[in-house]
Amino acid sequence: MGIRNWIRNWLNKEDSYINTKCSPAISPSIEGDHTGLNITLYTANGGHVVSFRRYDAKVDRHHTALYIITSDQSFEEALAQTIAMERLSR
C-alpha cells in the first residue's frame, strides 16, 4: 500500500477533513463531539503549510499547530510525519 493510500485511509478513519484550497476549512461537525483533529493544508510559495487544530475538553480550549513542508521535501513522507507527530502528541 502506498503512502498516499495510507494517509487517505488514516484520515478517513479519523473523520478528519483536508482542505486543499487557500481558504479556511469548514469541517462537518458532529453535535457534541469535539474530539476530532482538523487538518488544513495551505499552498504557499516554496511548499505547503499544514495546520492541525484540536479541542482540549480538560481546559476548554482549541490548540493549533503549524508545520511547514518545503518544496524540496517529499510531500507524502513529510505529511505522514507531521500527522504521526500530531497523533503522538495527543
Query: What span, in angstroms and rounded, lies between the C-alpha atoms of 26 and 32?
Result: 17
Q: Which amino acid is at 85?
A: M
The pLDDT value given to residue 25: 47
pLDDT, tens digit, 9 for 90 and up, residues 52-82:
988 888 888 888 899 999 999 999 999 999 9
The pLDDT value given to residue 16: 41
Mean pLDDT of the chain, nearest integer: 75
> Residues 6 or more apart from 79 whose CB is under 8 A from it?
7, 50, 69
Domain residue extents for the chain: 3-19+36-88
The pLDDT value given to residue 1: 56
Question: What string of DSSP letters covers 5-30?
Answer: HHHHHHHHHTT-----SSS------B
If phi > 0 it is left, if psi is from -120 to 50 it is alpha, else beta; for residue 30 that is: beta
pLDDT, tens digit, 9 for 90 and up, residues 12-49:
664 444 444 444 444 455 445 556 678 899 999 999 99
